[in-house]
Each structure stands twice: as C-alpha cells, then as structure tokens.
Amino acid sequence: MKIAVCVKQVLSREATIRVNDQGTWVRDADAQFEINEPDQYALEEALRLKEQHGGEVIAVSAGPARVTQVLREALARGADRAIHVGDDALVEGDAFVVAAALAEAIRPEGVDLILTGLQSDDQGFGQVGVVMAERLGMPHATIIMDVSLADGQVRVKRELEGGWFQWVTLPLPTLLTIQSGINQLRYATLKGIMAAKKKEIRAVRAEGRASEQRIARLYVPEKSKQTRVLEGSAAEIAKELVQALREARVI
C-alpha cells in the first residue's frame, strides 16, 4: 500500500495578518505558518492505514522553500519520505495550477491511494483534491469520515447534508479528501523528530503554468454603521421597517 498525502502550509491562526502591497494576497515574508488542519487528519489517516496494512506514506507539498517545514512535521509524525514541489509562484496559484503540479509529482510514484484534506484553511476552495483525481484519471470521493480497505477496494463513509451519510466503495487507486475530526491526531515524538532528520525530502520543479483565476482584491472586511430614523404613524413605520430590513437582507 503506497499512500501519498498532500499537505499544505497555511498561515498560522496566531499570525497577525497583513495584506501585501499589491492587495492580492497576505504579506507572508514575516508571517508564521502551520500545517493545514484538515491535512493533519489526512496524514493521520494515512499513517493509520499504513500501520494496519503496511506500505509507505509519502508526504507531498507544493510551494516555496518554507513549505519543507510542514514536510518535516509530517516526517516526524511518521511519513516515510517527502516530495517538495518547489515553485514560489504556487503561493498565488489557483487550485488548478496547484493540483496539476501535485499530480505531476505524484504520477511517477504509482501510488494506490492519495489523501488530501477536504479544503485549506486559507483559500478553502476544496478543489485541489478532485482536480488532481481528474488529471490522474482516478476515481475520488470527498468529505470522508471513515476509510477501510479490503480486497483491493476501499470503502468510505461520506458526510452528506443534514446528518446523512453515504457509504461508497471505490477501486484502487483512488483519491479521498478527508474531513477534519475523522481520527485523533498523534503528537510529534522525540524519536519521530530524530528519525525525520534522516528521511529524504526530494525536491521536484513544478512546470510553470499560468493561473486561470486571480484574486482581484484582498481586503479586511469594512465595518460601517448607518442610522436611519423612521417617521410617520406606527403602521407606516412598521411597513418601512420591514422594507428596510428586507433591503438589508436581515429578513
């Protein structure tokens, strides 16, 4: 069982966020980063599957040199090796570009299973996984709550709306996007950290590809206050109030 897990490096929740000069993304030169939370669950699930069925877990991350930090974290928690898909432009790349870069890096590995987090904590497109599956010609399933492997097939539990679940069986190889909270995350151990120092992070270059989508403007939500005094008889005021609330989309 060869499993690839895609992990993204996102801004830390502790970081003070500042918009960059072009107003297109956050200023990340002095920011703090961490591993995307849903990806932590994907990694944990991969490690558990490996513990049950044997095999290998490969952590893959796309982005500038700093993303090796999350790869080290994945290695410390038990991934066997890592691939760094290096390209500074990927920071502002759209889901399609990132998915393409990851897919090309994973393709030669011939993996049985690819796990990603359901979505990223920063952009939250929820697209990279499914686009990758499409490019690699694999089936995929999203919002996964449970994974079990048997007879060369994978049976998963998907979360639907309104408390409903769906059970699906897929052939291998396949791609799953994992929902947060599916398992209990392990912590980094000293032995794991020591072992991680000796594990390989292979760097591959991403093919330069232009994004189709681009962020036009990034800004801090603007708060504004408006006061309007309604006048007239009670009935008129009530009518006007309902009208105003409708306009403000409160009701």
Partner 1 sequence: MSALEVWTFRLLVVVALALFSVQMATRLRLVAAGAQNLRWDRFPERFRQFLVDVVFQARVIRAKPWVGSAHLLVFWGFVAFAGFTAVESLRGLGLLDLTETHWFRSYRVALAPFAVAVLAGILFLLVRRGLFRPPALGQTVSKESILIGVLIATLMVTFLLDLRLEGGAERVNWWVHMLVILAFLVLIPDSKHLHLVLSPVTVFLKSPVLGDVPNLDFEREEVGFETVADLPAKQRLDAFTCVECGRCQEACPAFATGKLLNPKKLILDAQRAMLGGQLDAKLVDVFDDGVLWQCTTCGACENQCPVGIEHVPLIIGSRRGLVSNGEAPDYLGPVFNNLERRGNIWGLTYDQRDKFIASAGVETFDASRHSYLVWLGCAGAFEADYQKSLRALFEILHANGVRFGVLAKERCNGDPAKRTGNEYIFQELATQNAEELRQAGAKKIVTSCPHCLKTLGQDYRRFGLDAEVVHSAVLVSELTSHVHLAKDDEVTFHDPCYLGRYAGHTAEPRALLHRVGAEVKEPVRNRDNPFCCGAGGGLLFEEHESGKRISQERLDQLQATGARRVVTACPFCSIMLKGAQASTQSSTEMVDLISYVNDKLRGEGRGAGG
- Footprint of partner 1 on this chain (CB under 8 A)? 12-14, 34, 184-194
Closest distance between partner 1 and the C-beta of residue 112, in Å? 25
Closest distance between partner 1 and the C-beta of residue 188, in Å? 6
Give the distance between the most distant pair of CA atoms in the chain.
79
Strand partners, 167: 157
3-state helix, strand, coil in the chain (%, to 5): 35, 25, 40
Closest distance between partner 1 and the C-beta of residue 15, in Å? 10
Cβ distance to partner 1 smaller for residue 155 or 186? 186
Do 46 and 57 meet the contact criterion of CB atoms below 8 Å apart? yes
Cβ distance to partner 1 smaller for residue 191 or 249? 191
User: Cα–Cα distance between 234 and 20 in angstroms, integer?
Assistant: 50
Closest distance between partner 1 and the C-beta of residue 63, in Å? 19
DSSP string of 152-176, one letter each residue: TEEEEEEE-GGG-EEEEEEESSEEE
DSSP string of 116-138, one letter each residue: EESS-SSS----HHHHHHHHHT-
Length of the chain: 251
Three-class DSSP labels, 196-220: HHCCCEEEEECCCCCCCCCCCCCCC
Closest distance between partner 1 and the C-beta of residue 109, in Å? 26
Q: At what angle do helices 68-77 and 190-197 cross, to 10 degrees?
A: 130
Cβ distance to partner 1 smaller for residue 190 or 229? 190
Cβ distance to partner 1 smaller for residue 50 or 158? 50
Cβ distance to partner 1 smaller for residue 190 or 216? 190
User: Cα–Cα distance between 47 and 7 in angstroms, integer?
Assistant: 13
Closest distance between partner 1 and the C-beta of residue 122, in Å? 16
Cβ distance to partner 1 smaller for residue 164 or 187? 187
Strand partners, 57: 3
Q: Give the tokens for residue 101.
A: 């870069």
Closest distance between partner 1 and the C-beta of residue 12, in Å? 8
Cβ distance to partner 1 smaller for residue 34 or 122? 34
